A and B are shown apart, each in its own frame.
Chain A
C-alpha cells in the first residue's frame, strides 16, 4: 500500500520525480524496518514521510485544489492500519475466518468513513465563501472545540 502511494505520487507529479521518489523510498524503507523490528515508532515515521511526500508534491505542484486528496488520505490511513495490524502479536483466534473478516471489515469501513470526512474537508476548502472576522471567529471556535472534545474523550475514565 505504501509503495502504491509512492508510485501514484511520482506518476502524478511531472517535474520533481527524483525528490518525490527519494522521500517515498525513504518512507517505504522506514516502514519495512518498522515491520521487521515490530517497532511502532518507525511505522509512525514512515507514515509521516509518506505524508511529507504528499506535502512536497502539493507544495511544488500547481496551486489548484487537488481533488484526489480524500482518496490519498484514505489510502494513507489504510496503509497505517495495516502496518500496525502487522506488528500486533499473533494469536490463533485471528486465523478463524469470522474474526479475521470482522477485523478487515472494521479497518475498511473506518478508512471509507475517514475518506468521506476528508472529502468533506476538501469540499469545504474549495467552497467560495467571503473572508472576514466571522469566518475567522468560526475557525477559532471550531479549533478550540475540536481540542476540547479530544481532551474530554482522552481523560474520560472508563
Chain B
C-alpha cells in the first residue's frame, strides 16, 4: 500500500501557510483566523487518515478461449471499513481488452461484498496472466490517496482462430496406423479401388457378384486401406513482417492452429517444429492431448532475434519421421529458413511451403528509388519461389485477405501434376 498527497493537500497547505504568513506581515490576527480552518482540516485529515482494508478475489470463467471470443472475470470485493470512492483498475495485458467499465469507481460500506462481472475480449492469441488489480482510494478529506496493487493473476490461454478447412493437404505416403487417409496401395479397407479375378485365399465376402455373373468367373473387389499420416508443421520464427497489430507470425500461428486441429480430427499424427532463434519442437503424436500440446507450443512462438547460423541438423531426428509431410509456414525472409527448407527437400522429405506473404506488410517508399527497390524486392521473392518450384517443392503465396483453403488447394494442384522423382 502506497500513500501519496493529492493536489488538494498541497493547496490547503499553501492556503494555510500563506494566511498565517500574511497575518504576521500585516499584523492582523483575523487573517490567521481565516487560515485556521484549512490548517484544522490538514491536521484532522492527516491524523485520521487510515489506509483502506479491502480484500479481493478474482476468477475467470474459463482458462482457455479462442481468439475473438469473450471471457468473464468475476471480481469479488470485501471491505473491513467503509470505503468511499474506491477506484478499481484491472490491469490487462495487451492481448486482452475490457468490454465493461474499467477503471470504475465504487462506494463500499463496511459489510459490502459486491461481485463485479467484467467481460473481457480475447483480442490476440497468447498465454497471459490476467488479474493484476489496482485499488485507489482517497481519505475522507480528500488529502491523501492510497494505492494498492493486488496480485490476483489467473492464467488465460488464448488460442489462435484459424480458418475452417474443407480439404487438407495429403501426404504422398501414409503410415501404418489406422486413420482417415486413403493411400494408393491396396489392402483391407472399405474404400473401393478396383476389381480383379478371384484367387485362392480371397474371402467370399469380397466377391463382387454382379461382375462375377457378367464374366462367368469369380471376381473380387479390391479396396484401399484407411491409414493415418504424419504431418509436421514447420513454423519459421526467425523473422517476421509486421504492420501495427498484425504480422506474418500471427497469420502463420493462426494457420498452424487451424491445420493442427483439422489433421488431429482426421486421426493423423501431428508434430511441430518452431525453427528460429529459439528452437522448439514436438514429436508427432495424435489425439486431443497432442492438439492442446501443439496449441500451447504455438502460444510460445515468438520472434527471437539471433544471428547464429542454424540448419536442420540441430533438429532431433525423431521430430521429422520418415514419409512425413512437412508443411512449412514461413514468410521466407530469413536465409537460414530458406536453406533449411531446401535441405529438407534434398533429403527427400515430402515438403510443401505456404509462404505467408510479407508483401502486404511492407509499403513502398515515396521516392522513385524506393519504388524501384520495392519492385526489385518483390521480383527477388518471385525468383525465390521459382527456385523452390524447380526443386519440386510446391510453394504458394498466402496473403492475409485470402482463405487458407485457397493456398492449400494451389499446393494440391501442383502436387497432382508434379511427379515424384527419386534418385
Interface residue ranges, A against B (CB under 8 Å)? 40-41, 43-44, 47-48, 51, 54-55, 58-59, 65-66, 69-70, 72-74, 76-77, 80, 84-85, 88-89, 91, 93-94, 96, 99, 103, 106, 110-111, 113-115, 117-119, 121-122, 124-125, 146, 149-150, 153-154, 156-158
Contacts and interface: CB of A to CB of B under 8 A. Distances in A.
Contacts of B41: 77, 110, 114
Q: What does DSSP make chain A's interface, helix, strand, loop or mixed?
A: helix
A72 to B, nearest CB: 7
Given A91-B85, A93-B107, A158-B1, A47 B30 contact: no
B40 A113 contact: yes
Nearest to A44: B11
B19 interface: yes
Contacts of A119: 33
B30 A65 contact: yes
A124 B30 CA distance: 11
B31 A55 contact: yes
B104 to A, nearest CB: 8
23 contacts: A40-B6, A41-B7, A41-B11, A43-B11, A44-B7, A51-B15, A51-B22, A58-B26, A59-B28, A69-B33, A73-B35, A73-B37, A74-B37, A76-B37, A91-B106, A106-B140, A113-B40, A122-B29, A125-B30, A125-B33, A150-B42, A153-B47, A158-B146
Contacts of A124: 29
Nearest to A77: B37
A39 B10 CA distance: 13
Interface of B: 1, 3, 6-8, 10-12, 14-15, 18-19, 22, 26, 28-44, 46-47, 49-51, 84-85, 87, 104-107, 140-142, 146
Given A88-B85, A93-B107, A150-B43, A40 B11 contact: yes
Given A76-B34, A125-B32, A55 B26 contact: yes
- Which of A44, A99, A113 has the most C-beta atoms of chain B within 10 angstroms of its own C-beta? A44
A110 B15 contact: no
B36 A73 contact: yes
A121 B33 contact: yes
Q: Give chain B's interface secondary structure class.
A: helix
A59 B14 contact: no
Contact of A153 (B18, B37, B43, B84): B43
Contacts of B30: 54, 58, 65-66, 69, 122, 125
Contacts of B50: 158
B171 to A, nearest CB: 61
A38 B141 CA distance: 18
A130 to B, nearest CB: 17
Nearest to A158: B51
Contacts of A76: 34, 37
A70 B146 contact: no
B95 to A, nearest CB: 28
A65 B106 contact: no
A62 to B, nearest CB: 11
Nearest to A76: B34
Nearest to B101: A92
A51 B8 CA distance: 17
Nearest to A68: B30
Nearest to B13: A150
Contact of B32 (A43, A80, A121, A157): A121
Contacts of B3: 157-158
A149 B40 CA distance: 12
B34 A94 contact: no
A55 B22 contact: yes
A103 B84 contact: yes
